[in-house]
Amino acid sequence: MPASHRGILIPLTLAAPLPERVRRSSLADQDLSVVNARLESRVEALEAARENLDDLLNAAGIPILALDMNLNIRWFTPAIEALIELTPSDIGQPAAGFARKFDDARFLDDARAVLQGHPPLEQEVQGEGNRWYMRRTVPIHTRDGYASGLVTTFVDTTRRHEAFDELHRILEAAPDPTVVIDISGRIERANAELLRVFGYSAKELIGRPVETLMPERFRRKHRTNVRGFFASPQARPMGEGLTLFAITKDGREFPIDVKLSPTHIDEHFVTIGAIRDITKQKGLEDRLHGNQRILERRVAERTVELQRLQTELHRAMRLAELGELTTGIAHEITQPLTAIRSYMEACQTLLAMDDFASAKDLGRKALDQARRAIDIIQNIRAMAVATENRRSAQDINGLVNDATLLMIAGARDRQIEMELSPAPGLPLVVADRVQIQQVLLNVLRNAIDSVSEVSRRRIMVETRRGNDSMVEIAVVDTGPGVPAEIAQRLFQPFVTTKAGGMGIGLSLSRSIIEAHDGRLTFANRHSGGTEFIIALPPAETG
């Protein structure tokens, strides 16, 4: 056997015998020698080709075993020795008879199946020294299409195996359920934690689409997302900003975070998906939200409580004011009463002296003082009424109209021009009609008093919508304005600049307006005169 044939035994039926036959032929003419020469050169070419093929197969170091239709050994490459104990003398012997060094119970069954027309079969097998091979069995056919045997190649996949072993170790070390999916989105591997959490066996899960782990309603969308992901794979969290859900084999759903890491494992492209159950985190979030709601409710409760306290404080302050007021009233009433007593004592003396004219004069003075006392008492009664509730929705323009009507006659007598400027479409206000009219009359009376001191006497009453949507009544006069020395105390009881004034009007008015959640304010105008503004909240609609 030529040296180049060592180990690779491909029987060539065309080989040595042909040129001899040709030479031995009785037709030894020129033509034949030409044919002969041609054939010889073809044989040489074939020899050379076979040598090349031998060299190639030797150099590749790939274990290859060729069997014939009876599963007898036809040829093999030297590398096959790593897997089967064979020597060149074994050619023609049944493949079943040789000691195999690899662990593969299906080897001959697969060979038979392929011979019977099954497409090529692959099987990963383990050989000596912890090496792995992909055993691939393919049929070979004659030119006219008949099966003539098969070739089994063993491609060393040890490195890939090691890589996968490494991956496996990483997967198993991962604390979270983790899957490896291939580029078609099928589950290639799953760690024990994933199987435990989802309740599947590896057999049930491997090869299934990764959507198996998701609730039905997310699956279709996810399939398109997977395609997008593999178009430009990048490590990223899945479904950013969304709450993702997983579903276990027995239908339990739970919220998850998924981190995707595309990677190559020995030429093989996969994506590793680490799945984290965030039920607890979600629970915390929900609890946090719950706590926030509780806090908000407490704040609201406290606010109500504070408002109640504030109202109480207000009332207490008003009571204190009332105390002050009572002292003031006592003082105010004592004055006319003392005067009346003095007048009546003097009156008695004068009557005893038959001085009827003087007695009559003192009697009139006593009567004036009595009237003053009654005035004071009436104002106090009005203040007591302010705490009673007789409120209803009021049309402010109508109310203003009624109140001014009462004043117009008196104003005309004093040559005062009164103008009314009602705004249309104002909302109603909820108010005690009599009380608001009383306030308006107080303010108007003050305005009349103020313009009486000047020559240009004009009072304008305007209704309007305030900036803060309050309904306002403004009373503008052309008087001298509020004196600076009382501007700060204007609304305190018994503050007056008038000779016969009691200084109760504005104090009482403010109490009434504030009891209506409104405001009573004033401002001196640049053009001279004063503007008093009664602001009331509009009735709530709906």
Tell me the CA end-to-end span of the chain in Å, nearest whole number.
112
Smaller CB distance to ligand ADP: residue 95 or 447?
447
The region of 45-53, 131-139, 441-449, 462-470 touching ligand ADP under the rule CB under 6 A is 441-449
Q: Contacting ligand ADP (CB under 6 A), which of 185, 505, 518, 537?
A: 505
Interaction residues for Mg ion, span 274-303 (CB under 5 A): none
The region of 182-190, 216-224, 278-286, 501-509 touching Mg ion under the rule CB under 5 A is 501-509
State the nearest-atom distance from the C-beta of 509 to Mg ion, in Å.
9
State the nearest-atom distance from the C-beta of 452 to Mg ion, in Å.
13
Q: Name the residue among 180, 255, 186, 183 with its Cα closest to residue 215.
A: 255
Reported as type and span, the H/E element at residue 60 is: helix 30-60
The count of other CB atoms within 10 Å of the CB of residue 440 is 24
Q: Name the residue among 196, 271, 267, 201 with its Cα closest to residue 231.
A: 271
The alpha-helical segments, DSSP class H, found in 272-395 are: 279-352, 356-385
Smaller CB distance to ligand ADP: residue 431 or 502?
502
Q: Name the residue among 486, 474, 487, 412 with its Cα closest to residue 443.
A: 474
Which tokens hold the place of 351? 């009557």
Smaller CB distance to ligand ADP: residue 191 or 530?
530
Residue 463 forms beta bridges with which residues? 473
DSSP state of 541: P
Gyration radius (Cα) of the chain, Å:
57
φ, ψ dihedrals at 503, nearest 5°: 70, 30
Strands 458-465 and 417-421, by their bridges, are parallel
SS (H, E, C) 431-446: ECHHHHHHHHHHHHHH
Q: Is 507 in the site for Mg ion (CB under 5 A)?
A: no
Interaction residues for ligand ADP, span 468-497 (CB under 6 A): 477, 479, 481-482, 486, 490, 495-497
Residue 496 site contact among Mg ion, ligand ADP, none (CB < 5 to 8 Å, cut-off depends on kind): ligand ADP
What is the contact mask toward Mg ion in residues 43 to 72, using x (rule: CB under 5 A)? ------------------------------
Q: Contacting ligand ADP (CB under 6 A), which of 302, 360, 498, 525?
A: 498
**Are the C-beta atoms of residues 168 and 189 closer than 8 Å to each other?**
yes
Smaller CB distance to ligand ADP: residue 238 or 447?
447
Q: Is 227 in the site for ligand ADP (CB under 6 A)?
A: no
Q: Name the residue among 271, 285, 239 with its Cα closest to residue 258.
A: 239
Q: Is 416 in the site for ligand ADP (CB under 6 A)?
A: no
Q: Contacting ligand ADP (CB under 6 A), which of 65, 214, 362, 506?
A: 506
Smaller CB distance to ligand ADP: residue 16 or 484?
484
Smaller CB distance to ligand ADP: residue 199 or 528?
528
Q: Contacting ligand ADP (CB under 6 A), which of 501, 517, 521, 523?
A: 501
State the nearest-atom distance from the C-beta of 395 to ligand ADP, in Å.
25
Contacts 24+ apart (CB under 8 A), 188-194: 188/270, 189/164, 194/275
Quote the CA–CA distance of 202 and 198 in Å, as a whole number: 11
SS (H, E, C) 90-131: HCCCEHHHCCECCECCCHHHHHHHHHCCCCCEEEEEECHHHC
Interaction residues for ligand ADP, span 28-87 (CB under 6 A): none
State the nearest-atom distance from the C-beta of 445 to ligand ADP, in Å.
7
- What residue is closest to Mg ion based on CB? 505
State the nearest-atom distance from the C-beta of 450 to ligand ADP, in Å.
3
**Are the C-beta atoms of residues 467 and 534 closer than 8 Å to each other?**
no
Q: Contacting Mg ion (CB under 5 A), which of 127, 336, 505, 529?
A: 505
Interaction residues for Mg ion, span 437-456 (CB under 5 A): 446
Q: Cite the beta strand spans of 432-524 per DSSP E.
A: 458-465, 471-477, 519-524
Interaction residues for ligand ADP, span 284-323 (CB under 6 A): none
State the nearest-atom distance from the C-beta of 462 to ligand ADP, in Å.
15
Q: Is 328 in the site for Mg ion (CB under 5 A)?
A: no
The three-state secondary structure class of 25 is coil
The number of residues making up the chain comes to: 542
Smaller CB distance to ligand ADP: residue 453 or 468?
453
Q: Contacting ligand ADP (CB under 6 A), which of 190, 247, 447, 512?
A: 447
Q: Is 332 in the site for ligand ADP (CB under 6 A)?
A: no
Residues in contact with ligand ADP by CB under 6 A are 442, 446-447, 450, 477, 479, 481-482, 486, 490, 495-498, 501-503, 505-507, 530
Contact positions vs Mg ion (CB under 5 A): 446, 505
